[in-house]
Amino acid sequence: MRDPVVIAGAGVIGLALAFELQERGERVKILMPEDEAGTATLTAAGMLAPVSEADVEHTDLVPLALDSLARYPNFIDRVQAAAGRHCDYRTEGTLWVALHRDHRAELEHLLAFMNHRGLSAERLDARSLRRLEPGLSPRTVGGYRISADHQVDPRALRLALLEALTLRGAELESSCRAVGLECRGGVLTGIKVAYGDRQAVLPCTRAVLANGAWLGHDFDGALPDCGVRPVRGQVLRLTGPVLLQHVIRTPDVYLVPRADGRLVVGASSEERGFDGRNSAGATHDLLRHAIAAVPEIAELEIEEISVGFRPATRDHLPVIGATAVSGLFLCGGHFRNGVLLAPASAALLAETIHREWADAALAPFSPRRFEVQPCPNRN
């Protein structure tokens, strides 16, 4: 039997990959730091929105996003069956709502782009929208429904993945960070790790860096120069009576209802490095826009205000695949859509690692599109 694949990072990307590797008969060892502050998966709203998130500047992402959404029902079935837990996967769809003329103009622009890409959205007038969601503001002037956009609870999904992996014998190295590479002649021989102040080397022939916004930070070893950086997102979690069934989006805010009655309100998008503080301004803006869309939100209780770091590469596309160091792979930079992209990223990279053959679907996301520096020989 081959040695385990070492995976640094236990967000949705690392854990989904570990799960798909196990599904292919591989053993996995997952490195998890003690401090999980800023983990994007724990903050994310969980919108699975290839249509709403279709981006004029990053059209390469649309096929991967649609592929990943199509994989979701089967992925969730397998994870839930293996873990014996639910992930709150829901298919009610998204309602995009305009509250005034400027909103309407912005939504028309988005709609034109979606139509151009062959993505489907159904235009709705204010009355139809309020029939679907009676809590919407009387100031609603129109919008559209995107039935293809779904959602999942990322925290529930992460717990289910951890449970499934553990039950199937994954090795979890807790309080452990990847801090560097050991290689010889361009071939991976180990991952340097730190348990607090104590350093060690985990010998391995295959490893994946899937540590989100931290990919390449404080790391000793030549990696593709993908420049991963954190893009801070602030999010509120509110509780109280269930007000909504659909995900509601305006150009200013999104509202994601959970089965347990919680409502996720998001999100800011800020270039502040790894500053994990919440700001009064972002909280104020989120609440103002949320209450403008659904006035009864003013009566809900604030349960949590949190911060997560979206992992963004230089070109805002993910890095998924092999590096110049034989045996070393990257799976990161999923930016605003990592929850959506997890099933496809995981399955395609698991195939690449297991079969030693890369799927053409991953070509646009190869880490090797960035400058590659040679790996130093260490003896």
Ligand X SMILES: Cc1cc2nc3c(=O)[nH]c(=O)nc-3n(C[C@H](O)[C@H](O)[C@H](O)COP(=O)(O)OP(=O)(O)OC[C@H]3O[C@@H](n4cnc5c(N)ncnc54)[C@H](O)[C@@H]3O)c2cc1C
Comparison of 14 and 143: residue with beta carbon closer to ligand X: 14
Binding mask 177-206 for ligand X (x = CB under 6 A): xx----------------------------
Comparison of 305 and 361: residue with beta carbon closer to ligand X: 305
Sign of the CA dihedral running 336, 340, 344, 349 = positive
Cα(72)–Cα(166) distance, rounded to whole angstroms? Answer: 21
Our finding on whether 50 is near ligand X (CB under 6 A) is: no
Smallest distance, Å, CB 233 to ligand X? 3
Comparison of 309 and 370: residue with beta carbon closer to ligand X: 309
**Cβ contacts of 258 within 8 Å, gap of 6 or more:** 88, 153, 264
- One of 212, 221, 321, 343 touching ligand X (CB under 6 A): 212
Comparison of 54 and 340: residue with beta carbon closer to ligand X: 340
For residues 243 and 296, the answer to whether their CB atoms sit within 8 Å is yes
Interface segment toward ligand X; rule CB under 6 A; list 76-84, 121-129, 270-278, 332-340: 332-340
Pairing type for strands 187-195 and 177-184 reads: antiparallel
Smallest distance, Å, CB 316 to ligand X? 11
Cis peptide before 280 (omega within 30 of 0): no
Comparison of 44 and 300: residue with beta carbon closer to ligand X: 44
Interface segment toward ligand X; rule CB under 6 A; list 56-64, 97-105, 296-304, 335-343: 335-343
Smallest distance, Å, CB 79 to ligand X? 15
Smallest distance, Å, CB 50 to ligand X? 9
For residue 10 the two structure tokens come to 């236990």
Cα(327)–Cα(352) distance, rounded to whole angstroms? Answer: 11
Our finding on whether 207 is near ligand X (CB under 6 A) is: no
Our finding on whether 308 is near ligand X (CB under 6 A) is: yes
Comparison of 142 and 343: residue with beta carbon closer to ligand X: 343
Q: What angle do CA 159, 232, 290 make, to 5 degrees?
A: 85
> What is the Cα 271 distance to its own chain's centre?
18
> What is the Cα 20 distance to its own chain's centre?
16
- Dump the DSSP string for 128-176: HHHHH-TTS-TT--EEEEETT-EE--HHHHHHHHHHHHHHTT-EEEET-
Comparison of 243 and 307: residue with beta carbon closer to ligand X: 307
Binding site for ligand X (CB under 6 A): 8-14, 31, 33, 36, 39-41, 43-47, 177-178, 210-214, 233, 235, 266-267, 308, 310-311, 332, 334-340
